[in-house]
Chains A and B, each alone.
Chain A
Amino acid sequence: MPTSALALSGLTKSFERPVVRGVDLTIRPGEFYALLGPNGAGKTTILRMVAGLLRPDAGSITVLGVDALADPVAAKRRMAWVSDEPMVYDRLTPLEYLDFVAGLWQVEPVRAKASAHELIDWLDLAPHANELCGGFSKGMLQKVALAGALVHDPDLIILDEPLTGLDAGSARQVKDVLRQRTASGVTVIMTTHILEVAERMAERIGVIADGRLIAEGTLAQLRARIGRETTLEEIFLDLVAQGQSSAEDAA
């Protein structure tokens, strides 16, 4: 059993300018970890590197004991990626989509079918299971994408702004599903701008600013760090301001 679900070491990525600067991060198995940061801080780039969608310039990524850069296929077999733009085909039905995903992850057909129907019921998609996804709302598409991420029972779920554009009901369903998965030992790493979600759901929170992990810990630890009993919003704004001023000083 690996000691970490995800371990990043010295992760670095530049496009026209440095976007991620030597990030070190370790997430325990079964942990719900929220990654916060202002727009353009590098959160999505980090997650895309973990998911195998971008190759880092330097550093290492270890997923459940597997070196994700040396053996990306083995790492991908254990994880799922959900972005804010649902990755769904307009002209497939939810059931056909889940069948396709199960085929890609080589899930045993009987197990895949049972899991797909269970997820469809759980996410209230049953009445639309045989309709083409092209007519779905953003919330329904996001639920189909989430079902796709869960149909192969991943051990690590990476979510980039999964609640963007969802109504309260759909957001609740997604949160319930994620909570249930973490309770059963699945690790979740998620970026979000909805601080209330991070505050309520995450065991630990990491704050990224200007490509660096500037703070990390439980809500209580972060409060202690700024020395005030206040909301996560205040803590976040304080930490980001500190991070930015120290980055300017360093420059």
Chain B
Amino acid sequence: MSFAPASLPWLAAHEFRLAWRDTLAMMTGGRRVRLVGWVVGGALVYGLMAVIAWFAIRPWVEAGVVLDKETLVLISGTGLLFWTVTLSQALEAVTRVYYGRSDLDLILSSPTSSDRLFAVRAGAVFVSTAALGALLISPLVLALAIQDGPRWLSAFLVLAALAALSVAIAMAITRLLFRVVGPRRTRLIAQIIAGIVGAGFVIGIQAAAILTHGGFSRMDILQSDAVIAGAPDVTSLLWLPARAALGDPVPALVMVVLALSIFAATVALIAPSYGSLAISTAGLDRVGSRRRASTRTFSPTTQRQALRRKEWKLLMRDPWLVSQTLMQLLYLVPPALLLWINYGSGAGDGMFIVIVPVLVMACGQLAGGLAWLAISGEDAHDLVATAPLTPSTILRAKIEAVLSVIAAVLAPLLLLLAIASSPMAAITAVCAFVAASASTAIQLWFRVTAKRSMFRRRQVASRAATLSEAFSSILWAATGALWAAGSILAIGPAVLALGVLGLARLIAPRKP
């Protein structure tokens, strides 16, 4: 099928073809046989999710789904959680529409309408956001549809509406940022907002649960008497999305029409400014700020010190990388809060079973990101490689740079923990050190030569490294939790974590 050149469907077909080939290349890495692995692996994971969903909702469905306040609050709260993640993703994607160069310069230098290009790219963001969401919720929705009736399929309509609304809001925020802070800062601030929105609601609701119930469960707060009592009556319009998700066709239709109209209106309003704004983002990767001459330059130093200082300086001077890396620290807010409010209250060891693994997990993940930056993301690889020092000295210096940052981040929390319970602080320190070291080792084994600007795509470059790092952090966190609980079973996840490390070492590409 062929479309008129430069028309909307022609541009859409072009975008689709590029996206498809990009996805295929990412999945197969040039080897078709890997596609089979993806299909089989994907089917297995999906099957597992479907089984879990099937059994998780069974008691609820068997008891009979009643459209009362409790159900509406639960569905709305869960939906809101999901929506914040969707909004966060949409913000990231919309930023890329303005800042990603690839073929943008070619298209913008042609007589093709930039309005149309924006419409197509906004549409692509909507489709990908909705499709990913649909894939994630489909095991649950399909299980509900089979067990309780097809009316549950309308949840997909609600999802489409939420995705359209997310993309519309993301476009409006990005446009507003361009106006208020200018093209140089828009990307950074949009990404910080995306991180805060993505994590903020989860953290907020956890913080509320900690402050009111002294526990971590989000469901506790959503089902608490105070929230149920304070929620509007079941006839309120606020429950429209929840009713739509529960299979009421009229609210579902109203939501979809409303959200798509808002989406279309936002595209129409913002598209005329797209061309000039996209052009204004060109060349912003070039940083040109003047620095005060440092008095510490050309002071006596060892080779390892020189390398460590360089790593810290580059990290400190890259606000985007700092925001991306430190965003993970947001997840430390709830355990810190839990520690704070329980300090001196004699809350017992129960709270440590929650705090220790969160800290261990955060350290593992943070170390993974930093280790990639220090070990793989070396912008002057040839310079360092031709310097008169052994590869092991280079690696040791870079590992020291990473672990010292982790130590600096963890130290205040450990101190707080030590005041509450020194054995728990010791357990956290040991497990966090091991988790951080394991993540660093994985990044070391899977190291590649890359630019720091590739940081976002590092997970795509090596899924084996990403998965090993995630499993290792989770297992060390579990070890910490069980150890904090005084259980001998802590040996189990520790042995598994060592197994993951061994496997990672085995499958890591051999270095020449």
Contact = CB atoms under 8 A, between A and B. Distances in A.
B62 interface: no
Contacts of A233: none
Given A103-B306, A135-B287, A77 B297 contact: no
Contacts of A95: 293-294, 297
Contact of A87 (B306, B313, B380): B380
Given A73-B388, A129-B293, A131-B288, A83 B382 contact: yes
A91 B318 contact: yes
Most-contacted residue by chain A among B286, B384, B386 (CB, 10 A)? B386
A51 B388 contact: no
Given A106-B303, A109-B300, A135-B286, A93 B291 contact: yes
The secondary structure that dominates the B interface is: loop
Contacts of B317: 91, 132
Interface string A101-114: 11111100110110
Contact of A130 (B291, B384, B387): B291
Given A88-B380, A89-B379, A131 B289 contact: yes
Interface string B305-319: 111011001100110
Most-contacted residue by chain A among B317, B318, B388 (CB, 10 A)? B388
A222 B294 CA distance: 52
A33 interface: no
A104 B380 contact: no
B380 A134 contact: no
Contacts of A106: 302-303, 388
Nearest to B451: A90
Nearest to B321: A91
Contacts of B388: 73-74, 76-77, 104-106
Contact of A91 (B314, B381, B386): B314
A52 B301 CA distance: 24
A101 B382 CA distance: 12
A151 to B, nearest CB: 10
Contacts of A76: 386-388
B380 A53 contact: no
Contacts of B318: 91
B21 interface: no
Interface in A121-147: 129-132, 134-136, 145
Given A92-B313, A100-B310, A113-B298, A132 B288 contact: yes
A87 B297 contact: no
Interface residues of B, number: 39
Interface string B99-142: 00000000000000000000000000000000000000000000
Given A73-B390, A91-B314, A99-B297, A104 B287 contact: no
B288 A87 contact: no
Nearest to B512: A55
Nearest to B298: A113
A86 B295 CA distance: 26
Contacts of A53: 382, 385-386
Interface in B395-440: none
A104 B397 CA distance: 12
Interface in B259-309: 285-294, 297-303, 305-307, 309
Contacts of A113: 297-298
Given A92-B313, A104-B389, A109 B288 contact: no
A99 B298 CA distance: 5
A102 B381 CA distance: 16
A51 B386 contact: yes
A96 interface: yes
B283 to A, nearest CB: 9
Interface in B368-387: 379-387
A181 B366 CA distance: 46
A81 B381 CA distance: 12
A129 B388 CA distance: 25
Contacts of A81: 382-383, 386
Contacts of B306: 99-100, 103-104
B273 to A, nearest CB: 26
Contacts of B293: 95, 129-130
A101 to B, nearest CB: 7
Nearest to B299: A109
A15 to B, nearest CB: 11
A211 interface: no
Contacts of A104: 303, 306-307, 383-384, 387-389
**9 closest A-B pairs by CB:** A135-B288, A103-B306, A134-B287, A87-B380, A77-B388, A104-B387, A113-B298, A76-B388, A87-B383
22 contacts: A51-B386, A53-B382, A76-B387, A83-B382, A87-B379, A92-B310, A95-B297, A96-B297, A100-B306, A104-B303, A104-B383, A104-B387, A104-B389, A105-B387, A109-B299, A112-B298, A113-B298, A116-B298, A129-B293, A131-B288, A135-B287, A148-B383
Interface of B: 285-294, 297-303, 305-307, 309-310, 313-314, 317-318, 379-390, 512
Given A88-B379, A99-B297, A109-B301, 14 more contacts: A53-B382, A76-B388, A81-B383, A87-B383, A89-B310, A90-B287, A91-B314, A100-B310, A104-B388, A109-B299, A113-B297, A130-B290, A132-B287, A132-B289
Interface of A: 51-53, 55, 73-74, 76-77, 79-81, 83, 87-93, 95-96, 99-106, 109-110, 112-113, 116, 129-132, 134-136, 145, 148
